[in-house]
């Protein structure tokens, strides 16, 4: 299959998957609940609210008509109104999404920065002590309840050592004296753009604990996948051939093995993104990080169903497109991909 | 009776020998055996909780306000919580909900995923296409978020939380079983059965499913750990068991408010989640190694 054909096929498949995703969310919000209108307006609804919701949602119409209304609203970015904040959900998301993305990206960088070298080492020195330690770290990371680790980190680095702040994105003093100009919503980038290094430093120290906590699952995954892809590549015939030809071990390692082992680990990026986002739901509350996670957890407690569904859709769209981008990237890097 | 037993043994001789080989290999894996012991200990602790703790009524949820926030002591080795209940008793009782959610999620997911995977792999064509595209759609969601959405739609309860997690889990088994079935379908004994005119449902039940069970069981063992972790995460958020029922995730959630002052209250249930999940993951790895010497040789 020619490369461009593969790329387009993947794009079309992704769009179809997204269409399926909306069918599932539609089913969850309109077919599964016994009274969708009541779910849509929140706890203790009045009769009037319910009948208005029935009208807005078009619940008296047949399901296919409801679905078409549902999807055209989604395409216009209309996710409904939050039961709790009474704001259109899209407005809420604009403030929460950048906060979470900043945290998730930081966590992914940590996971890759530590996980890739550790995985490569473990794979290269398979069966040694390094390998055993790396595997133990990996399995501990994927078994860790992050919401519990978050508490331990707070206890150690805030209560006992006084090294890092306990929670929030900025200190109160800094927030008052250094007004932040929201350009991207990423505090690190915004403060750097403004050239305000005191603000940057404050934002950075507040990011460290939540980002490290969040990175654990992705870290474990990265170590595992990098290790196994390294082991696999080192067994390839061309490595044996290179060795037989008397090439120096160092050159074999960097030029042939590492380069080819890294490409399959790219899929780790997609996975670590989704696991970091999932983790963010659990730990943002603990660190008072006002992002999607806090938004969702508060929505769960307030039975704010429209918010839960909206966040699920948004995050899934992100996930699908990240995977698409990674597939494309891989296809461009690795010519073997397009053959399959 | 004896002849009947002898028949079974003779017919399954190869498989029994294989199991004995696996058993011997497994006993050599120190980490896996230790994990199994940890899991059994937690399971026994949960089952016999009423006899193991002097405070079974507190484990069930009865408050004991005169002893709020006692630090760990000989009477209360893990201290007491915000309602004065013995944390050790609560952790033992909490194992009931956490372990059963882990187990049930995997059982339900296997029950849905395995037959679908076998159908997709065996029939191919549009059946395969249909089942696998639905699978893709479910896999497109971040698992925890989908579970949260489903549990919220169904209404907040322990059973609904369990169902919600299971619904996000089955597609993995469908994929696994489909891949296995694809290769089994071409094997001679299946072709022979087909040639002899054995009906399709019988072929799937007698020849396909028994042969995919080993990889499914291997996968299921590791998955129980992640399912327990997900269940704990759901109850940490506030979906799942209702108070006063004890649950590890819910205990960490309540205890986090007091963590910097009274860390024992959230520390021990959190540790329990970590240890049990770790044990299931290590056990899963160990079983994978013995069940599948192929990957052991090439990848491990």
Q: Which has more pLDDT, B12 or A233?
A: A233
Q: Say which residues have a Cβ less than 8 Å from residue B72's Cβ, sequence separation at least 6.
A: B78, B79, B264
Residue of A20, A28, A29 with shortest CB distance to B133: A20
Are A324 and A331 in contact by the 8 Å Cβ rule? The answer is no
**What pLDDT is attached to residue A144?**
92
With a cut of 70, say whether residue A305 has pLDDT above it: yes
From chain A, the residues in CB contact with B253 under 8 A are 147
Per-residue pLDDT of chain B (300 residues; tens, 9 = 90+): 567 777 777 767 777 777 777 778 777 778 889 999 999 999 998 898 888 888 777 777 777 777 777 788 787 778 787 777 888 888 898 999 999 999 999 999 999 999 999 999 998 889 999 999 899 889 888 888 899 999 988 888 899 999 999 999 999 999 999 988 988 888 888 888 888 888 888 888 888 888 888 889 888 988 999 999 999 999 998 888 887 888 898 888 888 888 888 888 888 999 999 999 999 999 988 888 787 655 443 333
Q: Tell me if A281 and B148 make a contact (CB, 8 A cut-off).
A: yes
Q: Tell me if A159 and B260 make a contact (CB, 8 A cut-off).
A: yes
Residue of B249, B252, B259 with shortest CB distance to A154: B259
DSSP B292: -
Chain A residues 143-162 with a CB less than 8 Å from chain B: 143-145, 147-148, 151-152, 154-155, 158-159
Please tell me if residue A267 touches chain B, with a CB cutoff of 8 Å.
no
With a cut of 60, say whether residue A339 has pLDDT above it: no
Residues B136, A12: Cα–Cα separation, whole Å: 14
**What pLDDT is attached to residue A214?**
92
For A167, list phi and psi in degrees, rounded to 5: -165, 180
**What pLDDT is attached to residue B297?**
37
Domain locations in chain A? Answer: 1-84+303-331+336-340, 89-301
pLDDT tens, position by position, A35-88: 777 777 777 777 888 787 777 777 777 888 888 888 888 888 888 888 788 888
Following CA atoms A185, A188, A189, A190 in sequence, which dihedral angle do they give, to the nearest 10 degrees?
60
Distances (CA, A) of A165 to A9, A161, B36: 48, 10, 40
**What pLDDT is attached to residue B300?**
32
Q: Residue A298: which of A318, A277, A313, A281 has the closest Cα?
A: A281
Residues A304, A314: Cα–Cα separation, whole Å: 16
From chain B, the residues in CB contact with A277 under 8 A are 142, 145
In the block, tokens 């993305």 appear at A101
Rounded average pLDDT over A195-215: 85
Residues A105, A132: Cα–Cα separation, whole Å: 28
Q: Residue B111: which of B154, B151, B163 has the closest Cα?
A: B163
Q: Tell me if A148 and B273 make a contact (CB, 8 A cut-off).
A: yes
Q: Which has more pLDDT, A38 or A137?
A: A137
Distances (CA, A) of A337 to A159, A283, A329, B277: 51, 37, 10, 35
Strands, E assignment, chain A: none
Buried b (16+ CB within 10 A) or exposed e, A132-168: eebbebbbbbbbbbbbbbbbbbbbebbeeeeebbbbe
**What pLDDT is attached to residue B173?**
93
Q: Tell me if B148 and A308 make a contact (CB, 8 A cut-off).
A: yes
Are A185 and A292 in contact by the 8 Å Cβ rule? The answer is no
Q: Tell me if A21 and B150 make a contact (CB, 8 A cut-off).
A: no
Highest mean pLDDT among A265-279, A293-307, B162-176: B162-176
From chain A, the residues in CB contact with B229 under 8 A are 143, 145
Rounded to a whole number of angstroms, the distance from the CA of B211 to the nearest CA of chain A is 26
**What pLDDT is attached to residue A340?**
44
Structure token pair of residue A17: 């998957």
Q: Say which residues have a Cβ less than 8 Å from residue B16's Cβ, sequence separation at least 6.
A: B9
Length of chain B: 300
Rounded to a whole number of angstroms, the distance from the CA of B298 to the nearest CA of chain A is 7
Rounded to a whole number of angstroms, the distance from the CA of B102 to the nearest CA of chain A is 13
**What pLDDT is attached to residue A337?**
59
Rounded to a whole number of angstroms, the distance from the CA of A20 to the nearest CA of chain B is 6
Task: Specify the pTM.
Answer: 0.87
Interface test with A, best of B94, B153, B156, B285 (most A CBs within 10 A): B153
Residues B285, B295: Cα–Cα separation, whole Å: 11
Residues B140, A48: Cα–Cα separation, whole Å: 37
The mean of the pLDDT values for chain A is 83
Please tell me if residue A302 touches chain B, with a CB cutoff of 8 Å.
no
Which residues, listed in sequence order, are joined to residue B86 by a DSSP beta bridge? B80
- A162: alpha, beta or left, given left = phi > 0 and alpha = psi -120 to 50? left
Structure token pair of residue A56: 């807005």
Residues B67, A183: Cα–Cα separation, whole Å: 52
| Count of pairs with CB atoms under 8 A, one residue in A, one in B | 145
Fold of A89-301: MetI-like fold (1.10.3720)
One DSSP character per residue, A122-150 reads: HHHTTTSHHHHHHHHHHHHHHH--HHHHH
Strand, coil or helix: what is B274? helix
> Which of A130-144, A228-242, B142-156 shows the lowest mean pLDDT across its residues?
A228-242
Q: Tell me if A20 and B137 make a contact (CB, 8 A cut-off).
A: yes
Chain A residues 38-77 with a CB less than 8 Å from chain B: 39
Are A70 and A292 in contact by the 8 Å Cβ rule? The answer is no
From chain B, the residues in CB contact with A29 under 8 A are 153
Residue of A17, A33, A301 with shortest CB distance to B136: A17
Q: Residue B26: which of B215, B286, B293 has the closest Cα?
A: B286
Rounded to a whole number of angstroms, the distance from the CA of B53 to the nearest CA of chain A is 25
From chain B, the residues in CB contact with A166 under 8 A are 260
Rounded average pLDDT over A325-334: 79
Residue of B140, B156, B278 with shortest CB distance to A316: B140
Rounded to a whole number of angstroms, the distance from the CA of B45 to the nearest CA of chain A is 21
CA B178 from centre of chain: 21
Are B52 and B92 in contact by the 8 Å Cβ rule? The answer is yes
Residues A319, B146: Cα–Cα separation, whole Å: 13
Rounded to a whole number of angstroms, the distance from the CA of A157 to the nearest CA of chain B is 11
**For chain B, first and last CA: distance in Å?**
44
Continuous segment of H or E residues that includes residue A168: none
Please tell me if residue A23 touches chain B, with a CB cutoff of 8 Å.
yes
Say how many C-beta atoms besides its own lie within 10 A of residue B160's C-beta.
18
Distances (CA, A) of B28 to A224, A320, B21, B238: 23, 43, 11, 42
Residues A279, A215: Cα–Cα separation, whole Å: 8
**What pLDDT is attached to residue A64?**
84
**What pLDDT is attached to residue A209?**
92
**For chain A, percent of residues with pLDDT exceeding 90:** 10
**What pLDDT is attached to residue A234?**
82
With a cut of 60, say whether residue A267 has pLDDT above it: yes
Strand, coil or helix: what is B86? strand
Which residues, listed in sequence order, are joined to residue A81 by a DSSP beta bridge? A88
**What pLDDT is attached to residue B292?**
67
pLDDT tens, position by position, A142-155: 999 998 999 998 88
| Angle of the B2-11 helix axis to the B13-28 helix axis, nearest 10 | 70
């Amino acid at each position: 299959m020619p490369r461009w054909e593969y790329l387009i096929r993947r794009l079309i498949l992704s769009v179809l998957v997204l269409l399926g995703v909306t069918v599932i969310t539609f089913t969850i919000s309109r077919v599964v609940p016994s009274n969708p209108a009541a779910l849509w307006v929140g706890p203790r609804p009045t009769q009037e609210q319910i009948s208005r919701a029935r009208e807005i949602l078009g619940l008296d119409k047949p399901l296919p008509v409801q679905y078409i209304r549902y999807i055209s609203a989604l395409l216009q970015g209309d996710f409904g109104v939050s039961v709790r904040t009474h704001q259109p959900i899209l407005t809420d998301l604009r403030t929460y999404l950048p906060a979470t993305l900043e945290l998730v990206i930081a966590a992914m960088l940590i996971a890759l920065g530590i996980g890739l070298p550790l995985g490569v080492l473990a794979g290269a020195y398979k069966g040694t002590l390094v390998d055993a330690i790396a595997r133990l770290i990996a399995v501990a990371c994927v078994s860790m309840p992050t919401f519990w680790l978050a508490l331990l980190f707070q206890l150690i680095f805030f209560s006992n050592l006084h090294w890092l702040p306990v929670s929030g994105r900025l200190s109160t003093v800094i927030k008052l004296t250094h007004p932040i100009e929201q350009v991207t919503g990423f505090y690190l980038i915004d403060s750097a753009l403004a050239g305000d290094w005191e603000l940057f430093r404050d934002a950075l120290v507040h990011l460290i604990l939540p980002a490290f906590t969040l990175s654990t699952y992705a870290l474990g995954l990265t170590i595992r996948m990098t290790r196994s892809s390294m082991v696999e590549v080192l067994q390839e015939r061309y490595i044996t051939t290179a060795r037989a030809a008397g090439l120096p071990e160092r050159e074999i390692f960097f030029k042939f093995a590492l380069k080819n082992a890294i490409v399959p680990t790219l899929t780790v990026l997609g996975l670590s993104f989704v696991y970091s986002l999932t983790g963010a739901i659990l730990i943002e509350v603990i660190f008072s990080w006002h992002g999607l996670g806090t938004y969702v957890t508060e929505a769960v407690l307030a039975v704010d169903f429209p918010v839960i569904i909206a966040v699920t859709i948004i995050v899934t769209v992100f996930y699908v497109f990240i995977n698409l981008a990674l597939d494309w990237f891989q296809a461009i890097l690795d010519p073997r991909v397009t053959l399959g | 009776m004896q002849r009947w037993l002898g028949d079974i043994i003779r017919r399954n001789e190869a498989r029994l020998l294989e199991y004995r080989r696996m058993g011997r290999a497994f006993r050599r894996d120190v980490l896996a055996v230790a994990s199994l012991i940890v899991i059994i200990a937690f399971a026994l602790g949960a089952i016999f909780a009423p006899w193991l703790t002097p405070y079974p009524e507190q484990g069930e949820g009865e408050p004991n306000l005169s002893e709020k926030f006692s630090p760990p002591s000989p009477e209360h080795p893990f201290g007491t919580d915000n309602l004065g209940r013995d944390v050790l008793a609560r952790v033992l009782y909490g194992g009931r909900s956490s372990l059963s959610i882990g187990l049930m999620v995997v059982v339900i997911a296997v029950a849905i995923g395995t037959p679908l995977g076998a159908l997709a792999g065996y029939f191919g064509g549009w059946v395969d296409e249909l089942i696998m595209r639905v699978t893709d759609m479910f896999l497109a969601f971040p698992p925890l978020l989908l579970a949260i959405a489903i549990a919220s739609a169904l209404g907040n309860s322990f059973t609904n939380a369990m169902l919600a997690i299971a619904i996000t889990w089955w597609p993995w088994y469908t994929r696994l079983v489909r891949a296995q079935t694809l290769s089994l379908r071409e094997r001679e004994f299946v072709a022979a059965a087909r040639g002899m005119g054995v009906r399709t449902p019988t072929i799937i039940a007698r020849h396909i499913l028994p042969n995919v069970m080993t990889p499914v069981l291997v996968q299921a063992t590791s998955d129980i750990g992640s399912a327990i972790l997900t269940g704990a995460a759901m109850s940490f958020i506030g979906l799942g068991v209702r108070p006063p029922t004890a649950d590890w995730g819910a205990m960490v959630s309540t205890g986090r408010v007091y963590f910097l002052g009274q860390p024992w209250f959230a520390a021990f249930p959190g540790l329990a989640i970590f240890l049990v999940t770790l044990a299931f993951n290590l056990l899963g790895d160990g079983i994978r190694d013995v069940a599948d010497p192929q990957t052991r040789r090439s990848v491990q």
